[in-house]
Structure 1
Amino acid sequence: MSDSPAESMHRLFRHDPGLFARVAPLLGIAVPDITKATVLFSGTGNWGALACRGNTLLQLETAGQESFLLLIEAQDRRDHRRPVHWAHHAAYLWAEYRLPTALLIVCPDQDTARWAAQPVASGPVQLPALTLHPFVAGPADLPLITDPEKIRADPTLTALSAVMHPSAQGIGSALDTLSTVLRDLPDIDANPLIALTAQGLHTHPAGIIWKHFVSAIILDREREKDRVERITKFRTEHLLLLLGERGLVLSEITRKEVADCQDPETLLRWLLRAVTASTTEEIFDEDE
């Protein structure tokens, strides 16, 4: 799989499958309300034969009970070999899954976006056997999001707009706000966006600014992780010490449960109960 900066754009759709539903209106695509978006992985069917494993494939379901596939590819330059592959991939997926298949090309520059939007026809001019009409998202379609409220409402779309507009006026403040929003998100949501935005901005000056903003987040999280690990260790040790002082014997299963517990709040709850409990059941029974 390629690690080029442009690849981050289709990976954002993989990270947040619902992103297309928010992008479609910006592209003028009249798609019924999308009720479910599922990422289809490369292990499905005969995907390996496609040579498009670096792309993102979504299965989308609409409010009208319709289902279709959306293949998303990032294209960072004109390459006249690609349209044939796009047509092949779309036709293959249509035949493999027996579902209508659409293609979205995401481009970081407008010249490439204009080129990619041209229909691709196979066959004589008078008798085209197959014509492909890709949807294309370029910088002109997705302006840089700078409004703090909109950034907070949709950090994934903000990241995509930032990757498309690394030189736009306001990019610095947009990245600053985005980093602040990500600081408050769980790691499972924030970390992919941090990495994909860094990949997309790559060596651009805006990428240096982004690394400056997120380095503080990473450092704070490392410190917090160390702090939680220390608290967990101390509370585990103090709980076992207190139980020993009070003559309360743990079964092997309960002792393992205590040793494996990584939640400081649970350990604190057990520790406080152990001060007055007369049996171990009073300490560890969560129905108490």
Structure 2
Amino acid sequence: MVSSPHEAMHRIFQEYPGLFSRVSEVLGIDLPPPTSATVLPTDLTEAKPVERRVDTLLRIETESDGPYLLAIEAQGKKDRRKTTSWPYYVSYLHNRYDGLPVLLLVVCQDHATAEWAARPLTIGLPQWPTLTLNPLVAGPHNMPVITDIAEARKDLALATLAAITHADNPDVGAILKTLSAALREAPETITDPIVELTAQGLGNRPAAQQWRNLVAVDTSFYKSFMSEEIRDEGRAEGRAEGQAKGQAEGLLLVLEARGITLTDETREQITTCTDSHLLNQWIQRAATATTAAEVFAK
């Protein structure tokens, strides 16, 4: 099953194709600046029963060196099958697109996977390699830790990818707080996909809740799906609290009408209860009970 972090780590390049230009700078690769980028089909399946699919594929245009293909793979863990599929991707794409140069970028969220992915893949004999693949790898070992708001605002897409790749960083709270603050002056068309991609990229890690809390601080600012979800949750919680409060008041009235004396402790137990099902059970018992013990018996 494809995870949310997996989707975010490569889909961010579809949303912001120019991001690779900045990532290549971070990785120390001297590439000409792109003039445009086109999202291409990712299906690499041949007329065989074997299906092969790269995560994201972009055609990058440049003025000085011409176009090249950028294949992006989001890798959450070591996978020995990639030692054969990645060389296949590169060879197939080189052939399918009339000999265009092909780069493979692997995006990771942990050091061990990044170190594994960065190893050259060689096909051939030890004394004479026929094909050697050298993936570019972006991960927590080389993506910047951005905790300066001004730096994050300079390139929000890079700041988002950096936050995703540092999802397990002990200082991820500061990284996310910086990204959230940097979004406040950005237009809605930029904030919406970044809020969603960041949430996807963090997956079910504790940092995901930190991000939700940051977004929830001022949900009127965010219009994304996640912020709408947070607002819906808040409204649902408000309705549940209102229902429980009404049930508690009704229970007190029933007990008073039946002449059942309550201690301060029992009264507090009723007024602080937020379990609608339990309150309804107490109300039903109160209709026939003669003592408080009968109402609250477990």
TM-score by length of 1: 0.69
Q: Which residue of 2 aligns with 1:188?
A: 189
After TM superposition, give the deviation of residue 164 of structure 1 in Å: 1.7
For 1:54 and 1:3, how far apart are their aligned partners in 2?
15
Question: Structure 1 counterpart of 2:215, which letter?
Answer: V
CA deviations on 1:60-111 (whole Å, 9 max, x unpaired) are: 1223141110101011111111121001111111111121111111111111
For 1:214 and 1:56, how far apart are their aligned partners in 2?
28
Q: Which residue of 2 aligns with 1:174?
A: 175
Matched, 1:59 2:59: yes
- Give percent identity, aligned residues only: 43
Q: Which residue of 2 aligns with 1:120?
A: 121
For 1:194 and 1:217, how far apart are their aligned partners in 2?
13
Q: Which residue of 2 aligns with 1:36?
A: 36
For 2:122 and 2:54, how far apart are their aligned partners in 1?
24
Q: Which residue of 2 aligns with 1:142?
A: 143
For 2:172 and 2:108, how far apart are their aligned partners in 1?
18
Q: Which residue of 1 aligns with 2:82?
A: 82
CA deviations on 1:187-226 (whole Å, 9 max, x unpaired) are: 332222111111111222211010112234544456xxxx
For 2:141 and 2:222, how far apart are their aligned partners in 1?
36
After TM superposition, give the deviation of residue 25 of structure 1 in Å: 1.4
The question of whether the paired residues in 2 share the 8 Å contact of 1:58 and 1:70 is answered with yes
The question of whether the paired residues in 2 share the 8 Å contact of 1:56 and 1:71 is answered with yes
> Structure 1 residues 4-13 or 191-200, which shifts more?
4-13
Matched, 1:104 2:94: no
For 1:95 and 1:39, how far apart are their aligned partners in 2?
18
After TM superposition, give the deviation of residue 39 of structure 1 in Å: 1.8
After TM superposition, give the deviation of residue 142 of structure 1 in Å: 0.5
Question: Structure 2 counterpart of 1:81, which letter?
Answer: R
SS at structure 2 position matched to 1:121: strand
Question: Structure 2 counterpart of 1:55, which letter?
Answer: D
TM-score by length of 2: 0.67
- Cα distance change on mapping 1:151 and 1:51 into 2, 3 Å: farther
For 2:218 and 2:89, how far apart are their aligned partners in 1?
40
Q: Which residue of 2 aligns with 1:21?
A: 21
- Cα distance change on mapping 1:40 and 1:217 into 2, 3 Å: farther
SS at structure 2 position matched to 1:209: helix
SS at structure 2 position matched to 1:36: strand
Question: Structure 2 counterpart of 1:157, which letter?
Answer: L
Question: Structure 2 counterpart of 1:32, which letter?
Answer: P
- Cα distance change on mapping 1:69 and 1:217 into 2, 3 Å: farther
- Cα distance change on mapping 1:183 and 1:199 into 2, 3 Å: same
- Cα distance change on mapping 1:174 and 1:38 into 2, 3 Å: same
SS at structure 2 position matched to 1:129: strand
- For structure 1, the residue ranges without an aligned partner over 5 or more in a row are 223-288
For 1:101 and 1:115, how far apart are their aligned partners in 2?
20
Q: Which residue of 2 aligns with 1:275?
A: none
For 2:54 and 2:93, how far apart are their aligned partners in 1?
15
Q: Which residue of 1 aligns with 2:237?
A: none
> Structure 1 residues 9-18 or 158-167, which shifts more?
158-167
CA deviations on 1:124-183 (whole Å, 9 max, x unpaired) are: 222322211111112111131111111111111111111122343543233223223334
Count of matched residue pairs: 220
Computed over aligned residues only, the root mean square deviation of the Cα atoms, in angstroms, reads: 2.3
Question: Structure 1 counterpart of 2:66, which letter?
Answer: E
- Cα distance change on mapping 1:220 and 1:27 into 2, 3 Å: closer
Q: Which residue of 1 aligns with 2:248?
A: none
The question of whether the paired residues in 2 share the 8 Å contact of 1:151 and 1:178 is answered with yes
Q: Which residue of 1 aligns with 2:130?
A: 129
- For structure 2, the residue ranges without an aligned partner over 5 or more in a row are 224-298
The question of whether the paired residues in 1 share the 8 Å contact of 2:152 and 2:178 is answered with yes
For 2:125 and 2:185, how far apart are their aligned partners in 1?
56
The question of whether the paired residues in 2 share the 8 Å contact of 1:183 and 1:217 is answered with no
For 1:215 and 1:20, how far apart are their aligned partners in 2?
30
The question of whether the paired residues in 2 share the 8 Å contact of 1:146 and 1:171 is answered with no
> Structure 1 residues 24-33 or 90-99, which shifts more?
24-33
- Cα distance change on mapping 1:217 and 1:47 into 2, 3 Å: farther
Q: Which residue of 1 aligns with 2:5?
A: 5
The question of whether the paired residues in 2 share the 8 Å contact of 1:9 and 1:160 is answered with yes
- Work out which of the two has the higher radius of gyration on C-alpha atoms and give 1 or 2: 2
The question of whether the paired residues in 2 share the 8 Å contact of 1:2 and 1:54 is answered with no
